[in-house]
A and B are shown apart, each in its own frame.
Chain A
Amino acid sequence: MTVPTRRQILISAVALIGGTGMSSLLAIKPTWATPAMMRAAIRKVIGEAPLRKGKVRLDLPPLIENGNAVPMTVSVDSPMTEADYVKAIHVFNEKNPQPNVLSIRLGPRAGKAAISSRIRLADSQTVTAIAEMSDGSFWSDEADVVVTLAACVEGI
């Protein structure tokens, strides 16, 4: 039997702790999204197409008072005519439990490619908005945000 690697020791230690039910005390976090998962989620939507920066504007406050409800606006520079319009807008995050935020289908009837909503952000991170154009091209914008919490919160 080979000498167990450090990684193997750590994995079995975690399994032992989990088995004795002490995991909650040590607060081992469940696997949450990572920047790599966000990139994978983006790839799923856009395939192999190149992602270009521009045309899209993602508005998020740089300093967020409470991650429970963050006002967000995504607007895309587009004439929104039958010949040239935004087909879809997708928003992704990198540190929430899962990478998707919102997926919107639009068309020339929208008149304007701009949507607003309120999103949840679990931690300070980069949020990405992608616009899919009628000609098949993909454009994006990113926003870096710092998430703080209100003081004096309820106990759970």
Chain B
Amino acid sequence: MSLWPQSFVLSCSVPLFGAVVSVSLAIGGEIPLSDRMSGYDFMSRGTQAMQDDDSANPGMLWVLDGEALWNAADGATSKSCADCHGDARLSMKGVAARYPAIDRAGSRPVDIAARVNICRAQQQKANPLPLEGRKLLAISSYIGLQSSGMPISVAIDEGTRPFLQNGREMFLQRQGQLNLSCAQCHDDNWGQKLSGAPIPQGHPTGYPLYRLEWQSLGSLQRRLRNCLIGMRAESYPYGAQEYVVLELYLMWRARGMKMESPAVRP
């Protein structure tokens, strides 16, 4: 994981394009902040309506499950999430909007799902929930809902900056049999069509979300795997640090945009 010297980034960002908004970390090809659009804006009105109506949004079925799990005792301690965190509507407000975050005990960023499992192991003395399983998705979506409408705001400091740089490198790196980078579709060609479908900008504003293609709620990691498979690249296993680092970059790239979890996407 290389560390780009601050001065090098500063000096190369200015001549590359006119609208340099974030001087310290901007690089050519990035979508100007004011041009950013959520995947919601690329959907048909029918699918948007599905997301907007809590009685029609299939993701809400997972949120209901998540609420029940939040209040259910588990582990050797027979504690529920609520026993420590109380009402999620208060204690989890804004939390998903600032993840991935550095886990206080460790030094690497973790996503919400990993954080839940850390809590389960340390506080509830419970087994970790299977990654991408229904229960973990349910709790993640319940936590995600508590940030609905709030601006994405991941902390960028000495702790996270190296991971952010790493995540950006991943985003710009060509890979797979098609030799494509994320940036080539989602920075350079968003709004154009791929197999008849519009290419969105790739902001993780709504995760975990109900993807019509999956007929199920799934995490950002599942969607990233779809992308990697689509590019004919090797996909990492669920829980891989690569996904968390990439998510950190994507959340920083989407900073200020509103959380929509649980979203609906085609």
Direct contact of A and B (CB under 8 A): yes
- The interface bits of chain A over 143-156 (1 if a CB of B lies within 8 angstroms of the residue's CB, else 0) are 00000111111110
Pick the interface stretch among B74-82, B87-95, B110-118, B191-199: B191-199
Contacts of B194 in A (CB 8 A): 151-152
* CB-based contact B44/A152 at 8 Å: no
* CB-based contact A66/B230 at 8 Å: no
Contacts of A68 in B (CB 8 A): 212-213, 215
Q: Which residue among A68, A149, A151 has the maximum number of chain B CB atoms within 10 Å of its CB? A: A151
- Residue A17 interfacial (CB < 8 Å): no
* CB-based contact B226/A152 at 8 Å: yes
Q: State A148–B212 Cα separation when bound (angstroms).
A: 12
- Residue A111 interfacial (CB < 8 Å): no
- The interface bits of chain B over 97-115 (1 if a CB of A lies within 8 angstroms of the residue's CB, else 0) are 0000000000000000000
Q: Could you tell me the distance in whole angstroms from the C-beta of A155 to the nearest C-beta in chain B?
A: 6
Q: State A64–B58 Cα separation when bound (angstroms).
A: 18
Q: State A155–B213 Cα separation when bound (angstroms).
A: 12
* CB-based contact A152/B45 at 8 Å: no
List CB contacts (< 8 Å) of A101-131 with chain B: 118
Q: Which residue of A lies closest to B47 (CB)?
A: A65
Q: Could you tell me the distance in whole angstroms from the C-beta of B147 to the nearest C-beta in chain A?
A: 25
* CB-based contact A149/B225 at 8 Å: no
Q: Could you tell me the distance in whole angstroms from the C-beta of B35 to the nearest C-beta in chain A?
A: 21
- Residue A14 interfacial (CB < 8 Å): no
Q: Which residue of A lies closest to B224 (CB)?
A: A152
* CB-based contact B266/A65 at 8 Å: yes
Interface of A is mostly: loop
Q: Which residue among B49, B212, B214, B230 has the maximum number of chain A CB atoms within 10 Å of its CB? A: B212
- Specify which of B47, B197, B229, B266 is in contact with A154 (CB 8 Å cutoff): B229
- The interface bits of chain B over 200-233 (1 if a CB of A lies within 8 angstroms of the residue's CB, else 0) are 0000000000011111000000000111011100
Q: Could you tell me the distance in whole angstroms from the C-beta of B190 to the nearest C-beta in chain A?
A: 12
A-B contact count (CB 8 A): 61
- Specify which of B43, B45, B229 is in contact with A155 (CB 8 Å cutoff): B229
- Chain B interface category by residue count: 20 to 34
* CB-based contact A70/B195 at 8 Å: no
Q: Could you tell me the distance in whole angstroms from the C-beta of B211 to the nearest C-beta in chain A?
A: 8
* CB-based contact B230/A151 at 8 Å: yes
Q: Could you tell me the distance in whole angstroms from the C-beta of A142 to the nearest C-beta in chain B?
A: 18
- Residue B15 interfacial (CB < 8 Å): no
Q: Which residue of B lies closest to A73 (CB)?
A: B46
* CB-based contact A149/B195 at 8 Å: yes
Q: A63 with B44: in contact, given A151-B230, A152-B226 (CB under 8 Å)? A: yes
Q: A151 with B46: in contact, given A66-B212, A69-B215 (CB under 8 Å)? A: no
Q: Could you tell me the distance in whole angstroms from the C-beta of B16 to the nearest C-beta in chain A?
A: 28
- Specify which of A61, A152, A153 is in contact with B46 (CB 8 Å cutoff): A61
Contacts of B46 in A (CB 8 A): 61, 70-71
Q: Could you tell me the distance in whole angstroms from the C-beta of B39 to the nearest C-beta in chain A?
A: 11
Contacts of A153 in B (CB 8 A): 213, 226, 230
Q: Mind listing 18 A-B residue pairs with CB under 8 Å?
A: A61-B44, A61-B45, A61-B46, A65-B47, A65-B266, A66-B212, A66-B213, A69-B212, A71-B49, A148-B197, A149-B213, A151-B194, A151-B197, A152-B226, A152-B227, A152-B229, A152-B231, A153-B230
Which residues of B does A touch, CB under 8 Å? Answer: 43-47, 49-50, 58, 194-197, 199, 211-215, 225-227, 229-231, 265-266
Inter-chain pairs besides A151-B194, A151-B230, 20 sampled, C-beta below 8 Å: A61-B44, A65-B197, A66-B266, A68-B212, A69-B58, A69-B212, A69-B215, A148-B195, A148-B196, A150-B197, A150-B211, A150-B212, A150-B213, A150-B266, A151-B195, A151-B197, A152-B229, A153-B230, A154-B225, A155-B229
Q: What 3 pairs across the A-B complex have the smallest Cβ distances?
A: A152-B230, A65-B266, A66-B212
